[in-house]
Amino acid sequence: MKEVLALIEKRKQEFAQLPLFKFMQDKSIDPQQRLAWAPCVAPLAMNFGQLNKYDFRKEPTDDPIQQIINRHTYEDDHHWVWFLEDLEKLGFDNSIKFSDVLRFLWGKETYKTRQICHQIALHTFRCEPIVVLAAIEAIEATAHTAFTMTVQVTQELQQITKQKYLYFGEHHSHVETGHITGTDDVKQFLEEIQLTQEQRAKVFEVVEKVFEVFTEAIHEMMAYVEKHHFVQLMKAS
Ligand SMILES: [Fe+2]
């Protein structure tokens, strides 16, 4: 798996260069505006719990890799609760018609983000645990990159609002280590796994797919934030 972990690290470095992350680091922009894409995360944050609970987790199991996956899913299946709390603190919890919420969640502006969990579930369906584990490592790499950026913005925002942000702030980033969680010395364990040619091909494919779907969603959020100014958004709702 050593070369798979190297590929994930390479893709992670590229992922960190996306325009939305540059935008978030631009201190000349109001910190609230730098997080104006937060509602777009809804399909990801809400489906991600389900992906962990109903797709990745398989119990009971004797397979040591599936056991690692299962332990990890118990950490990652409930972070959407923090997301809902942050939406309120960030000022997005205004009165909005239920039908308009549905239009937004199933609309064009969140299409790519809706694809993340869907595509990952399709690409890991009935796969060997090692393929799922590789997908999780790639997901964790993207999460680590994104939350490293959001933590900086929420720290600035906290100075103004005196609010603590659970999902976009330090609370979440402390448990998103960038790697699969719940198992000691997991990095060494992963590095020592020898893959067959067939496994290697499948694992590389799934890693590339994970970065592809996350990259497209991040571009989509950037397009959203360019169109929706935070103040306008508040007025509209
Ligand atoms: Fe999380």
3-state SS, one letter per residue, for the chain: CHHHHHHHHHHHHHHCCCHHHHHHCCCCCCHHHHCCCHHHHHHHHHHHHHHHHHHHCCCCCCCHHHHHHHHHHHHHCCCHHHHHHHHHHCCCCCCCCHHHHHHHHCCHHHHHHHHHHHHHHHHHCCCCHHHHHHHHHHHHHHHHHHHHHHHHHHHHHHHHHCCCCCCCCHHHHHHCCCCCCCCCCHHHHHHHCCCCHHHHHHHHHHHHHHHHHHHHHHHHHHHHHHHCCHHHHHHHC
pTM of the model: 0.95
| Furthest-apart CA atoms within the chain: distance in Å | 56
Between the CA of 53 and the centroid of ligand 1 the distance, in Å, is 13
Distance between Cα 129 and ligand 1 center (Å) = 20
How far does residue 174's CA lie from ligand 1's centre (Å)?
10
The CATH number corresponding to 2-236 among 3.20.20.140, 1.20.910.10, 2.40.160.40, 3.80.10.10 equals 1.20.910.10
45 CA distance to ligand 1 centroid (A)? Answer: 8
Distance 172 CA to ligand 1 centre (A): 6
Q: What is the pLDDT of residue 18?
A: 98
Ligand 1 mean position, distance from CA 76 (Å): 5
Cis ω before 60 (30° cut-off from 0): yes
Residue 138 identity (one-letter amino acid): A
Distance CA 68, CA 184 (A): 10
What is the pLDDT at residue 236? 44
Q: Which residues surround ligand 1, an ion (CB under 5 A)?
A: 79
Per residue in 37-92, pLDDT (tens digit) is: 999 999 999 999 999 999 999 999 999 999 999 999 999 999 999 999 999 999 99
Residue ranges of the chain with per-residue pLDDT less than 50: 233-237
pLDDT of residue 72: 95
Give the burial class of 86: count Cβ atoms within 10 A of its Cβ; 0-12 exposed, 13-18 middle, 19 or more buried: buried
Question: What pLDDT is stored for residue 201 in this prediction?
Answer: 97
Specify the pLDDT at position 233: 47
Asked if residues 47 and 116 have their Cβ atoms less than 8 Å apart, the reply is yes
Residue 17 tokens read as 């260069």
Where are the domains positioned within the chain?
A: 2-236
Q: Encoding tokens for residue 22?
A: 């540059």
